[in-house]
Amino acid sequence: MEKVAIQIREQNGTTRIREPVGLGIPLPKGTVRIAQQLTLMDGDKPLTVQLQPLAHWPDGSIRWVHVSTLVDLTLNNQKDLVLAHLQTPSPSPTKPVSNQTAGGLQITTATGSIILQPGSLAWQVRNPNDEVVPSSVILSDDAGATCTAKAESNWEITHKGPVFVAATLKGQWLKQSSQPLARFECELRIFLETGLVQVELITHNPKRARHPGGLWDLGDPGSVHFRELAVETIIPGSSTAKVTPQATDVSPSVLNLADFNLYQDSSGGENWQSRNHVDANGEITAQFCGYRLTSAGKLELEGKRANPLVSIEHDFGQLQLAVPHFWQNFPASLRKEGGKVTVGLFPKDSMSSYELQGGERKTLRCLMSHQCNTSLSTLAYTPLTPIIAPECYERAEAFPWFKANAQPGPLDQLIAEGLEGESNFFAKREVIDEFGWRNFGDIFADHETLYQAAGEESFISHYNNQYDAIYGFARQFALTRDRRWFELMDDLASHVSDIDIYHTEEDRAEYNNGLFWHTDHYLDAYTATHRTFSKHNDTSSTPGQTGGGPAAEHCYTTGLLYHHYMTGSQASRDAVLQLANWIRTSHEGQGGLLEQILALKKNELPMLKALLKGQRPSAHQYPFTRGTGNYLNALLDASLLEPGKDWLKQAEVVISKTIHSADTIEDRNLLEVETGWSYLILMTSIARYLHIKREFGDTDTHFTYAYDAFMHYANWMLENERLFCPIPSNSNSPTTHG
């Protein structure tokens, strides 16, 4: 294996101290069998490294590995690390870092220990002097009453290595009446050299939405409401705090306060009062622009967008707090009241309670350091992004048809506008204020505004990962090494995994765990948020349809697959498999009687009607459209994550029942622009199937069948398709599909 050079650059004018970094790295087939054959070097010095295999080649060698380490880096400097192959695997550490005690699961760090209390959303940080600082998670319902966290079991170790240990607790929140309110999943990621704790909380409403008439507005009976979700830490003895609202500034203001409340109410942007932030009544929930820092009821400071760092000195030591995407995921707060310090992930300061729609969830994080021996604010707000050369991706066949250092063409110049143009992806966010806990990460679908009257306020329209923007961002990051593409990928993947996927098992089989497609074309989303359709629209861009739900035509999984590869995100991995199961159920059903009757109505009756009219119905089971293409693509993605299951076999069944080398292609009306254009997505999916099979050296009869059929259509396209559309689409001449 050739050595992989990993470049880490400090670009924010800040010194980095033992800051965690990580990146997924692709490896060529047959080079590395076990992770212990890899080492990470800083010059001649081996670094502490944690390696997690994410995917394997058919021969068992590692295809993608996630690399985690800690780095020190002076301001505006660069570090070049090398991932190298060892002839002899390095030995695993023998000293245990976790053990079960009477008080709970104990994680030993270089600065003390962290004890996770059995079956409880609570933990204690213990220093070498056996002095304890306890923390816990609290939730209050919409009346302000405290809820009870009922765990399914005890804390479970999910990752263990020399860099960090991660433990997870799952369960549900119960109201005082013992009625379930929401589910929770809490991960504590504990970094062993520094004692840094990353708290990740998922709050999930597993109930179905009732969506009367196929309409998905806020206020649905399936929603749950709560007043606050927070992490509370009890500080022993006396304490003082230093509050830095803008920790990313070159010369930030620091206020010394006994007690305080730093509350971010809105984005602080020019359009902070956007209709993007309405409640079920259509009222905008933002109270004021930006953040306010108060102490003892007095306004100390106000500003636009806080990236806060709180440092507390107390009798037993120190505590530092930071919240990634603090202002972007507003509302958010940090407050201190006597000996209690609270991180308000969903703070009680907001105008009204929070509504979590049926099947919706939200993941939020905070960082806690009890030794102040790591660069907390930079990790939270300007994290380092390691990069590798595009040749590494090409050499490892990480992306299909990927070519490093190719001469840029017109398409590359167009794509670059996504970062550098006047309407780049970051600028788009500001137009409708695509911020707040439900919106952040999504893309404003500004192409809908092209048909609005001049001066008319922009539609609130959300893209919801259509045509797999996540994959485009991932590929551009690999190709250009520009960290902004990585940021866009990461933000959108997190949003899609939480908000755009319908996380429920209680609705129709064709809806459960499905992907909500883009909000209705050329219409405002109103109170439907990121779902389609809204009760406030009495028409639809889809003729004859003013209601519905997650649709089988719209299933985009490949970007989520690559987000998992590049970041190690378990949520993205789970999302790929959820969507693959959903789209398979949508096409194949579950075998119920009603389902069979509906299938008869949908498939057999149209064929009978065609025969009665003297027409020749298609012999294929699946339509020649993007819906089938996206289905096939999801099956391929799932097969890469779970090669031992039947995903690839099902993909071959779909191909055999969709396309044949003896098809009379003219009968499929592919040159009708409005109805036929999307077959190109299906063709691309079949090409990807052929690429994967050839990559794996598996050119069996299924490969040959698909290849012959694909080439039959490709030759037809060569003769009939054109790159441009100079002729009206209602003619019989060759045309272009968009």
Domain boundaries, the chain: 4-94, 98-210+217-381, 422-590, 621-738
- pLDDT of 448: 82
- Return the exposure string of 397-417: e unless at least 16 CB atoms fall within 10 Å of the residue's CB, then b: bbbeeeeeeeeeeeeeeebee
- Return the exposure string of 222-249: e unless at least 16 CB atoms fall within 10 Å of the residue's CB, then b: bbbbbbbbbbebebeeebebebbbbbbe
Predicted confidence (pLDDT) at residue 193 exceeds the cutoff of 50: yes
Predicted confidence (pLDDT) at residue 428 exceeds the cutoff of 90: yes
Q: What is the mean pLDDT of residues 545-556?
A: 89
Q: What is the mean pLDDT of residues 574-598?
A: 82
CATH topology of 4-94 equal to that of 98-210+217-381? Answer: no
Predicted confidence (pLDDT) at residue 600 exceeds the cutoff of 80: no
Place 334 in a pLDDT band, splitting at 50, 70 and 90.
Answer: very high
Fold category of 4-94 in CATH: Immunoglobulin-like (2.60.40)
Q: Which of 430-439, 531-540, 597-606, 636-645 has the lowest mean pLDDT?
A: 597-606
Higher pLDDT, residue 337 or 545: 337
Predicted confidence (pLDDT) at residue 736 exceeds the cutoff of 60: no
Strand partners, 628: none
Predicted confidence (pLDDT) at residue 594 exceeds the cutoff of 80: no
- pLDDT of 700: 97
Q: What is the mean pLDDT of residues 61-71?
A: 97
Which residues, including other chains, have CB under 8 Å from residue 424's CB and lie 6 or more apart? 417, 418
- pLDDT of 104: 92
- pLDDT of 738: 36
Q: What is the mean pLDDT of residues 550-578?
A: 96
- pLDDT of 617: 58
From CA 89, how far away is CA 69, in angstroms rounded?
18
Q: What is the mean pLDDT of residues 582-588?
A: 95
Q: By percentage, how much of the chain surpasses pLDDT 90? A: 82
Q: What is the mean pLDDT of residues 513-522?
A: 92
CB 157 within 8 A of CB 227: no
Place 455 in a pLDDT band, splitting at 50, 70 and 90.
Answer: confident
Strand partners, 132: 126
Q: Backbone phi, then psi, for 129, in 5-degree steps?
A: -90, 10
- pLDDT of 599: 52
Predicted confidence (pLDDT) at residue 419 exceeds the cutoff of 80: yes
Q: Which of 72-76, 146-150, 276-280 has the lowest mean pLDDT?
A: 72-76
Q: Extract the tokens encoding 27.
A: 């490896």
Predicted confidence (pLDDT) at residue 596 exceeds the cutoff of 60: no
CB 27 within 8 A of CB 1: yes
- pLDDT of 521: 87
- pLDDT of 733: 39
Predicted confidence (pLDDT) at residue 100 exceeds the cutoff of 80: yes
CA 460, 465, 466 angle in degrees (round to 5)? Answer: 85
From CA 342, how far away is CA 352, in angstroms rounded?
19
- pLDDT of 614: 60
| Strands across the sheet containing 50-56 | 16-26, 62-73, 50-56
Q: What is the pLDDT of residues 224-246, one digit of tens each?
A: 999 999 999 999 999 999 999 99
Q: By percentage, how much of the chain surpasses pLDDT 70? A: 94
Q: Extract the tokens encoding 561.
A: 């697959």
Q: Extract the tokens encoding 612.
A: 């009665």
Predicted confidence (pLDDT) at residue 608 exceeds the cutoff of 90: no
Predicted confidence (pLDDT) at residue 88 exceeds the cutoff of 90: no
Predicted confidence (pLDDT) at residue 627 exceeds the cutoff of 50: yes
Predicted confidence (pLDDT) at residue 725 exceeds the cutoff of 70: no
How far does the chain reach from its first CA to its final CA, in angstroms? 42
Q: What is the pLDDT of residues 115-130, one digit of tens each?
A: 999 999 999 999 988 8
What would be the CATH architecture of the domain defined by 98-210+217-381? Answer: Distorted Sandwich (2.70)
- pLDDT of 730: 47
Which residues, including other chains, have CB under 8 Å from residue 556's CB and lie 6 or more apart? 465, 466, 467, 468, 470, 471, 515, 579, 630
Q: Extract the tokens encoding 99.
A: 């053990």
Q: What is the mean pLDDT of residues 644-671?
A: 95
The CA-based dihedral angle spanning residues 446, 452, 456, 458, taken in that order and rounded to the nearest 10 degrees: -20
Predicted confidence (pLDDT) at residue 80 exceeds the cutoff of 50: yes
- pLDDT of 609: 60
Higher pLDDT, residue 73 or 724: 73
- Reported residue count of the chain is 738
Place 658 in a pLDDT band, splitting at 50, 70 and 90.
Answer: very high
